[in-house]
Amino acid sequence: MKSKFTPPIGKITQINGKCISLIGNDIDTDRIIPARFLKCVNFDLLGESVFEDDRETLKGRHPFDLEENKNATILIVNSNFGCGSSREHAPQALMRWGIKAIIGESFADIFYSNCIAIGIPCFTLSKKSIQEVQNNKDNKFLFLEIDLKNSLARSKDLTLNLEIKESSRKMFLSGEWDATSTLLENEDFIENKLDDLPYLEFNSTIT
């Protein structure tokens, strides 16, 4: 575990940090945080349990246990990362461990929206580029500077054109990724919607 956790806030334009590579397709959210750790009423302690069972099985050889990855903040993954359960506990656990951005071949839909909602930008790259990064022998020293404005990641001798949904990119740049206040701005429209939906009349209250 790193120093005390502080959640991201406001505009996210630049993320600089060491990369940690986790190889494998279809890594589901049960693996990221097994269900027994969902017995909690806040997310505070999840960081230490991230990938608990996988780490236990690999007895210290899991990327999240390697000394060289101790201060990593950018997670490099393969395809369909975060599939399965909708538990936000999964990105919360990754974030509390220290992850600030994820670059992968592809992400599961719900995991992706959970990451955006808590301020973890997720970028995609082609399989080939991901594998190049993951197979890079110097990977353990790979330090990337991610520039959200231009969707670029740069290291000493590498430039990657990252892809990210335009809506997500704009939200991070403007600081509106914490959606509640943006949604509340349209309060009048929300009230108006009540008149458009026929079923609210059939079932005026749920009783």
| 66 versus 173: smaller Cβ distance to other proteins | 173
Rounded CA gap, 168 and 188, in Å?
Answer: 25
Rounded CA gap, 102 and 80, in Å?
Answer: 12
6 binds other proteins (CB under 8 A): no
57 binds other proteins (CB under 8 A): yes
Q: Are 152 and 159 in contact (CB under 8 A)?
A: yes
Structure tokens at 67: 């000394």
35 binds other proteins (CB under 8 A): yes
Using CB under 8 A, which of the segments 3-11, 65-73, 103-111, 128-136 binds other proteins? 103-111
| 83 versus 144: smaller Cβ distance to other proteins | 83
Q: Residue 201 belongs to what H/E stretch?
A: helix 198-202
Rounded CA gap, 46 and 40, in Å?
Answer: 9
Rounded CA gap, 118 and 92, in Å?
Answer: 8
Residues forming a β-bridge with 158: 155
- How many residues bind to other proteins according to rule CB under 8 A? 69
182 binds other proteins (CB under 8 A): yes
Would you tell me which residues interact with other proteins (CB under 8 A)? 24-26, 28, 30-31, 34-36, 38-43, 53-54, 56-57, 78-80, 83-89, 91, 106-110, 113-114, 117-118, 165-171, 174, 176, 179-180, 182-184, 186-187, 189-190, 193, 196-203, 205-207
